[in-house]
Chains A and B, each alone.
Chain A
Amino acid sequence: MGYQLDFGALSGYLGLFLHGLGVTLVLTGISALLGIVLSIGGAATARSGPIWARTLVLAYVELIRNTPFIVQMFFIFFGLPSLGLRLSAIEAASLAMTINLTAYAIEILRAGIEAVPPSQREAGAALGIRPATVFIWVVLPQALANVYPALVSQIVMTMLESAVVSQIAVTDLTHVADLIQSRTYRAFETYFVITLVYLALAVGLRRLFALAGRRLFAGRRH
């Protein structure tokens, strides 16, 4: 009595695997790019915007950080249509992932910005540079350098969380795994392979970002 391993049963599904991998990467890419850009704006607003804007941003951050991602996603995909906004599965998934990443990234960046010594801002003012320019060219690079590992971690976490979009029929890696498993009945082999793929993706992403970080922030980090 024993389970006969049969990885060969999965061989016919290579195309499907690659499709799922592609979807996961695309979703991660979109949400990472948009998320970082939006979180820079959000962090700046939260620190030095008008009171009403600050409250709005902080309320949004608290809402997203204190609710499960899957619930946020179900709300966008199943709930919004009854308010008139019907997004396709991929659109809903990208939106949910972006909203989620942005909220966490705003908090991370705020900490990074706070860690830049105020003397930097004062020096900029003393030199007659406009505050916005000081923020973008002096404060922000240092802030990013401060929290770069945390940001990378958050992006990788979002990539792993993207597995949840399989529940709204987005054909990502996890959805493909479930499909293959339900056709071949080879649960162990399928999920073993998928785990390895996610592992490789996560480790690969971190390596990539580490290399990029060394070049972007050369000389800035102590």
Chain B
Amino acid sequence: MKFSSSRRSALKFSLASGLALTLGMAATGIDPAAADVLDDVTKAGVIKVGIFEDFPPFASLGADMKIQGYDVDMADMLAKALGVKAELVGITGQNRIPFLTEGKVDLLLSIGFSDERAKVVDFTAPYAPYYIAVMGPQDIDVKGPADLKGKTIAVNRGTLEDTELTKAAPEGADIQRYSDYAGVISAFESGQAQLMVVGNDVGATILAQNPSIKPEEKFLLLTSPSDMAVKKGETSLRDKLNGILAGMKQDGTLNTLAVKWLKQPLPKDF
């Protein structure tokens, strides 16, 4: 197919300019050290924080249809300390790491440490406790797995709590497995189960509803605190965040946050 002469020159021009542009970009290069996320954030005045949208009490829709929770307050405090505004971005378990590596968010909250994840993101120190606890009324004396013998314990079938409890419980512990948290809570409140095993997030939701039998944490089965994560290599942002976090632990703001949302003070060795 023969192009007209004007078309041919137009093609040649665009090809040449494209080539020049690419070579020019390669020559100056996008210097990794210069395009620092911390710098970008400070320049833009906004930090994009990725949080779950339905993970009470860390983040959930309040009665006024606004997202509220531990993570929301945390994002605001971090932003203030950095001197910028926080922009909350909803993420899911599936898309959060790609969002971070692609720059759609600058920071992830409520992410647990794992070696696999550590290959693609950098973790900060933990900022929120997450643990699985055996809970019971005040008048029951249970200090460790051995005391579970002869007691009835309600747990949500198929969850991490179920597997941990089954591993730790001695012979003679009567484990009742319900198909959802509603069953577990009903069993506990009606006295059908003396104890229940739930994560501290579910525990906080229960306590927030002011039940007739107040569950008290007896002992922990597993602890896996929530960390924050930044893109791999963003050491200046990570170090800045760690600094802010240490300050919050020091002056007690982190503990206040924990009591407000998790209804429990921070664990002693947090």
B95 at the interface (CB under 8 A from A): no
Contact B192 A89 (CB under 8 A): yes
Contact B191 A81 (CB under 8 A): yes
Per-residue CB contact flags for chain A residues 151-168 toward chain B (1 = under 8 Å, else 0) read: 000000000000000111
Q: For chain A residues 79-116, which have a beta carbon within 8 Å of chain B?
A: 79, 81-82, 86, 89
Contact B190 A169 (CB under 8 A): no
B101 at the interface (CB under 8 A from A): no
Contact A182 B162 (CB under 8 A): yes
B55 at the interface (CB under 8 A from A): no
B237 at the interface (CB under 8 A from A): no
Question: Which of B158, B162, B190 touches A82 (beta carbons < 8 Å)?
Answer: B190
B176 at the interface (CB under 8 A from A): yes
Q: For chain B residues 127-163, which have a beta carbon within 8 Å of chain A?
A: 154, 157-158, 162
Min CB–CB distance A39 → chain B (angstroms): 29
Alpha-carbon distance A89/B178, docked complex (angstroms)? 12
Which residue of chain B lies nearest to A79 when distances are taken between CB atoms in the complex?
B190
Alpha-carbon distance A152/B190, docked complex (angstroms)? 36
Contact A169 B186 (CB under 8 A): no
B257 at the interface (CB under 8 A from A): no
Contact B162 A169 (CB under 8 A): no
Check A77/B157 contact, CB under 8 A, given A167-B178, A169-B176, A169-B187: no
Per-residue CB contact flags for chain A residues 49-67 toward chain B (1 = under 8 Å, else 0) read: 0000000000000000000
Contact B179 A167 (CB under 8 A): yes
Count contacts on B: residues with CB < 8 A to the other chain.
14
Contact B192 A178 (CB under 8 A): no
Min CB–CB distance A89 → chain B (angstroms): 7
Min CB–CB distance A65 → chain B (angstroms): 26
Min CB–CB distance B217 → chain A (angstroms): 23
Contact A182 B158 (CB under 8 A): yes
Question: Which of A79, A86, A182 touches B157 (beta carbons < 8 Å)?
Answer: A182
Question: Which of B157, B158, B162, B192 touches A78 (beta carbons < 8 Å)?
Answer: B192
Min CB–CB distance B207 → chain A (angstroms): 20
B240 at the interface (CB under 8 A from A): no
A30 at the interface (CB under 8 A from B): no
Alpha-carbon distance A82/B177, docked complex (angstroms)? 21
Check A179/B192 contact, CB under 8 A, given A78-B187, A167-B183, A169-B187: no
Contact A77 B179 (CB under 8 A): no
For residue A81, which residues in chain B have a CB less than 8 angstroms away from its CB? 190-192
Contact B178 A179 (CB under 8 A): no
For residue A77, which residues in chain B have a CB less than 8 angstroms away from its CB? 190, 192
For residue B178, which residues in chain A have a CB less than 8 angstroms away from its CB? 167-169
Min CB–CB distance B206 → chain A (angstroms): 16
Alpha-carbon distance A89/B186, docked complex (angstroms)? 13
For residue A178, which residues in chain B have a CB less than 8 angstroms away from its CB? 157-158, 179
For residue B186, which residues in chain A have a CB less than 8 angstroms away from its CB? 78
For residue B187, which residues in chain A have a CB less than 8 angstroms away from its CB? 78, 169
Contact B176 A175 (CB under 8 A): no
Min CB–CB distance A87 → chain B (angstroms): 9
For residue A79, which residues in chain B have a CB less than 8 angstroms away from its CB? 190
Alpha-carbon distance A86/B191, docked complex (angstroms)? 8
Q: Which of A77, A179, A182 has the most CB of B within 10 A?
A: A182
Contact B177 A179 (CB under 8 A): yes
Which 8 pairs between the two chains have the least Cβ-Cβ distance? A182-B158, A169-B176, A81-B190, A78-B186, A78-B190, A81-B191, A182-B157, A169-B177
Q: Can you name 25 A-B pairs with beta carbons within 8 Å? A: A77-B190, A77-B192, A78-B186, A78-B190, A79-B190, A81-B191, A81-B192, A86-B190, A86-B192, A166-B179, A167-B178, A167-B179, A167-B183, A168-B178, A169-B176, A169-B177, A169-B187, A175-B177, A178-B179, A179-B157, A179-B158, A181-B158, A182-B157, A182-B158, A182-B162
> Contact residues of A with B, CB < 8 Å?
77-79, 81-82, 86, 89, 166-169, 175, 178-179, 181-183
